[in-house]
């Protein structure tokens, strides 16, 4: 083993007998080596925020001579690690040297008794959902980190504990760098519309989702370590990169409950069609399932009595209906095929699905705007929140396969009352213009009009003035617009968002679609069940736009743009699993196939491997 003395590396001397005149001096050096090994054993910091770091005079006197040399400090880091982890290489030796010099070579993750501290337990809790995801090479260091946080450490070997603490910190920095850069968000990038999931700046409004690299935040982290105990500093770093707490904390609690469920062992399976009045051995299994899922609160009535099987009664029917409601199933109180599929889903699979939704929480900013629209594409619903109060809740229509509504954080830039619909060139080319060529009355009968260019006011033209190949090119100067009226695809209101891909919210004349359970039907925009109410809710408090003026504008039929103040954020999210206000888990079909890390062509198109400069 090498030992550092006064900035130099002095090897242990094994050939003393060849240099008899210097035997006495080598004995003295060996004694110094032994004393250094003893003094290098770090004193552990208390996690109490009221306690300031203490200084070991022996440690200071033996370490200070080489404190100013980062190269020597990095050597100490590597030599300490390789003593107990010889096959392990470090990602951030220079950062580790600075961190451990700052805390006088104490520990971040162990208390004074050599046991894992509060920060270590929080880190293990934080990392577990990632380990429930699909297998992925990027997750291997996370598994190693979790293993280190659970393995016993010999408290009689302080240098072993120091080496373990170093390795945990190094892996922790890599984990933090992934979260800071938004690495896992790249798995949800949609190429359907060429949109990345981030705020797009508009009218000097700030980008609230900030992506950073470790080298950008490390100076601040190091400065904050000056005034914080190591364990408290580590806790603050973990919490800094956690998702917004109002969602993350209840979801993480539900994850722990599912973990406990998975630890129970074999999950009972329902194979039979059961309904109220059924007497069957599987009634007990159904009751056990519903008890563990939280839909049933008492198992006593459903245990076999001798040779007599339990009966499917009214109480069990209500419990099963509760289960079906939480999974957006047809509420029948019967174990039909689709209900059995959800009932028989293993707790481990539920953990995986919930973990993906916890992963997607990282799309949201840490602090939501006080006025915001929250859209959950998987649930196909929209809510409007103002000052933490629910103002509206409605059904929506979202993008269909191939034109999926993307995950985005947006600003509502304006509302357009009585909007004109600029027909996409592909629809004009394939559907509308061919019909107009066959029937000159078709355009006027559907409130369509032909326009040449983007002049103000619009330059309307007749079909006789338009070439037959007018819409063959995407760059054509001709376009078809649909005027305000009962046929207008945008209805009476359009809510413009801060993106350049024409993704927005709008009204629709087709009301019957909201009776369907599956409403992934649009070309990417979000259709609203009650656009009128959303207009009034967003404009409430605007003295210029009272309810009376909005109604009057509708009646006039002219297109009007309305600015939004105060600003409204729009969060287009995708959660197939979440906890409701009662703390119960809600489950939905993964209609966009986002609950996976496999076969991700989008990631291959846009890899995120940003090197970190130390």
- The region of weakest confidence among 101-115, 185-199, 371-385, 462-476 is 185-199
Q: What pLDDT does residue 193 have? A: 66
How far is residue 236 from each of residues 98, 350, 470, 593, measured CA to CA in Å? 18, 30, 61, 34
Residue 77's pLDDT band, with cuts at 50, 70 and 90, is: confident
The pLDDT of 497-523, averaged and rounded, is 92
Residue 186's pLDDT band, with cuts at 50, 70 and 90, is: confident
Closest residue by Cα to residue 412 from 194, 197, 203: 203
Higher pLDDT among residues 468 and 6, named by residue: 468
Average per-residue pLDDT in the chain? 84
pLDDT tops 90 at residue 355: yes
Phi (first) and psi of residue 105, to 5 degrees: 60, 35
Strands 585-587 and 577-579, sheet pairing: antiparallel
> How many angstroms separate the CA atoms of 595 and 124, rounded?
23
Higher pLDDT among residues 29 and 84, named by residue: 84
Q: C-alpha angle with apex 522: 516 to 527, nearest 5 degrees?
A: 75
Q: Is residue 153 within 8 Å of 134, Cβ to Cβ?
A: no
pTM for the model: 0.82
The pLDDT of 585-602, averaged and rounded, is 82
> How many angstroms separate the CA atoms of 459 and 49, rounded?
71
Higher pLDDT among residues 264 and 612, named by residue: 264
Cα torsion 514, 520, 525, 526: sign:
positive
What DSSP designation does 292 have?
H
pLDDT tops 70 at residue 500: yes
Identify the residue whose tokens are 């993906």.
Answer: 356
pLDDT digits (tens, 9 = 90+) for 421-439: 888 888 888 889 999 989 9
The end-to-end CA distance of the chain, in Å, is 27
Q: Which residues on adjacent β-strands are paired with residue 382?
A: 375, 394
**Which positions ≥6 away from 51 have C-beta within 8 Å?**
45, 229
Q: C-alpha angle with apex 319: 314 to 323, nearest 5 degrees?
A: 145
Tokens of 233: 């500093």
**Which positions ≥6 away from 324 have C-beta within 8 Å?**
330, 331, 332, 333, 339
DSSP notation for 349-408: HHHHHHHHHHHHGGGS-SS--SEEEEEETTTTEEEEEETTEEEEEEEEEEE-TTSPPPPE
Report percent pLDDT > 90 for the chain. 62
pLDDT digits (tens, 9 = 90+) for 196-241: 554 455 555 555 666 788 999 999 999 999 999 999 999 999 999 9
> How many angstroms separate the CA atoms of 307 and 469, rounded?
80
Q: What pLDDT does residue 25 have? A: 40
> How many angstroms separate the CA atoms of 141 and 202, rounded?
39
- The region of weakest confidence among 2-6, 71-75, 341-345, 455-459 is 2-6
pLDDT tops 70 at residue 65: no
> How many angstroms separate the CA atoms of 283 and 5, rounded?
74
What DSSP designation does 428 have?
I
How far is residue 439 from each of residues 433, 436, 464, measured CA to CA in Å? 10, 5, 12
DSSP notation for 308-323: BPPB--HHHHHHHHHH
pLDDT digits (tens, 9 = 90+) for 33-55: 433 333 333 333 333 333 333 33
Q: Is residue 174 within 8 Å of 91, Cβ to Cβ?
A: yes
> How many angstroms separate the CA atoms of 465 and 556, rounded?
30
How far is residue 377 from each of residues 363, 398, 410, 584, 586, measured CA to CA in Å? 14, 7, 15, 19, 14
């Amino acid at each position: 083993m090498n030992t550092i003395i006064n900035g130099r590396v002095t090897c242990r001397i094994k050939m003393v007998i060849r240099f008899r005149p210097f035997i006495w001096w080598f004995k003295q050096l060996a004694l110094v080596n032994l004393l250094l090994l003893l003094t290098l054993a770090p004193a552990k910091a208390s996690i109490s925020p009221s306690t300031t770091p203490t200084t070991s005079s022996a440690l200071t006197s033996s370490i200070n001579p080489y404190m100013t040399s980062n190269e020597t400090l990095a050597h100490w880091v590597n030599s300490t690690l390789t003593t107990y982890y010889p096959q392990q290489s470090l990602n951030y030796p220079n950062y580790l040297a600075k961190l451990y010099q700052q805390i006088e070579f104490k520990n971040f993750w162990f208390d004074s008794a050599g046991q894992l501290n509060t920060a270590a337990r929080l880190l293990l809790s934080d990392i577990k959902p990632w380990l429930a995801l699909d297998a992925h090479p990027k997750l291997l260091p996370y598994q190693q980190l979790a293993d280190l946080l659970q393995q016993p450490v010999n408290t009689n070997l302080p240098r072993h504990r120091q080496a373990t603490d170093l390795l945990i910190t190094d892996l922790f920095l890599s984990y933090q760098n992934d979260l800071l850069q938004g690495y896992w968000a790249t798995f949800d990038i949609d190429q359907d519309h060429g949109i990345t999931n981030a705020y797009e700046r508009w009218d000097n409004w700030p980008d609230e989702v900030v992506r950073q690299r470790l080298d950008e935040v490390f100076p601040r982290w190091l400065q904050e370590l000056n005034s914080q105990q190591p364990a408290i500093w580590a806790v603050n770093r973990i919490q800094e990169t956690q998702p917004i707490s109002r969602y993350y904390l209840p979801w993480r609690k539900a994850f722990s409950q599912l973990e406990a469920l998975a630890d129970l062992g074999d999950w009972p399976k329902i194979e039979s069609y059961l309904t109220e009045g059924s007497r069957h051995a599987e009634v007990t299994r159904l009751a056990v399932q519903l008890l563990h899922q939280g839909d049933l609160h008492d198992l006593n009535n459903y245990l076999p009595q001798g040779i007599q099987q339990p009966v499917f009664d009214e109480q069990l029917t209500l419990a099963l209906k509760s289960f079906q409601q939480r999974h957006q199933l047809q509420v029948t109180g019967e174990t039909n095929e689709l209900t059995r599929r959800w009932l028989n889903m293993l707790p481990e699979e539920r953990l995986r699905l919930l973990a993906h939704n916890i992963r997607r929480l990282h799309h949201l900013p840490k602090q939501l705007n006080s006025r915001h629209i929250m859209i959950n594409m998987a649930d196909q619903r929209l809510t409007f929140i103002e000052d933490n109060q629910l103002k509206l809740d409605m059904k929506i229509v979202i993008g269909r396969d191939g034109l999926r509504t993307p995950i985005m954080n947006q600003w509502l830039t304006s509302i357009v009352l009585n909007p004109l619909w600029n027909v996409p060139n592909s629809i004009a080319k394939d559907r509308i213009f061919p019909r107009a060529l066959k029937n000159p009355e078709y355009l006027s009968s559907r409130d369509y009009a032909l326009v040449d260019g983007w002049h103000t006011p619009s330059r309307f033209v007749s079909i006789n003035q338009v070439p037959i190949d007018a819409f063959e090119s995407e760059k054509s100067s001709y376009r078809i617009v649909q005027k305000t009226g009962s046929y207008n695809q945008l209805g009476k209101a359009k809510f413009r968002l801060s993106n350049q891909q024409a993704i927005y919210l709008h009204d629709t004349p087709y009301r019957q679609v909201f009776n369907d359970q599956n409403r992934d039907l649009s070309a990417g925009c979000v259709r609203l069940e009650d656009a009128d109410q959303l207009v009034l809710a967003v404009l409430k408090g605007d003295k210029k736009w009272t309810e009376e003026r909005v109604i009057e504008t509708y009646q006039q039929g002219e297109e009007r743009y309305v600015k939004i103040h105060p600003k409204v954020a729009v969060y287009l999210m995708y959660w197939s699993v979440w906890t409701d206000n009662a703390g119960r888990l809600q489950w939905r079909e993964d209609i966009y196939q986002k609950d996976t890390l496999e076969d991700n062509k989008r990631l291959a198109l846009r890899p995120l491997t940003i090197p970190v400069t130390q």
